[in-house]
Amino acid sequence: MAGPRECPHVLGEAGMSAAAARELRAETTIAAPPATVWAALADLRRMPEWSPELLRMVPLRSGGLRLGQQYVGVNRRKAVVWPTRSVVAALEPERTLAWDTRSSGARWIYELSPEGVGTRVVHRRPVPKRITLVSRVFAPLFLGGSDGHADELEQGMAQTLARLKAALER
């Protein structure tokens, strides 16, 4: 009998297919110093300027970006709009910004490193430890399934970085 690696639509231990159970990744080099790139990324209210899926990111408490700060994100894909709740999980100025999205079990990471006079930006979503019940129900009903949505998310991550790059290199 074939396992999840041979059949991309068979669910593995994490509750997702092998096609969806992969790290999503996009990267680019921006002709701006890490401090400039960081300032743009650290202002999460600006994230919808770059992300094709995110409409809004609202902090749940005052005090600005900090470890443990919680945000409500409002996402849209075609006619479907849904909220997410995220918490800042890693924060190292000019190097790393990550948040965990509780509804999906995903961690979204931005990693910055100096490259010449610019900044290398890697945007990744590691393989979630498990897919949440919300995602198991929501993805097939509203997003066309986890496999297709994972591909779409990865394309959106590349688009996010391209828009960020264009904004900072003007």
Q: Model confidence at 146, in pLDDT bands (50, 70, 90)?
A: low
Give the range among 47-51, 57-61, 67-71, 126-130 with minimum mean pLDDT.
126-130
Asked if residue 140 has pLDDT above 60, the reply is no
Q: By three-state DSSP, how is residue 14 classified?
A: coil
Question: What is the pLDDT of the chain when averaged over all its residues?
Answer: 83
Question: What pTM value is reported for the model?
Answer: 0.80
Q: Which residue segments constitute the domains of the chain, with CATH numbers given? A: 24-168 (3.30.530.20)
77 vs 17, more confident: 77
Computed on alpha carbons and rounded to an integer, the radius of gyration of the chain in Å comes to 16
Average pLDDT over residues 14-38: 83
Residue 137 in tokens: 């129900």
119 vs 133, more confident: 119
CA-based max dimension of the chain: 55
pLDDT number for residue 86: 94
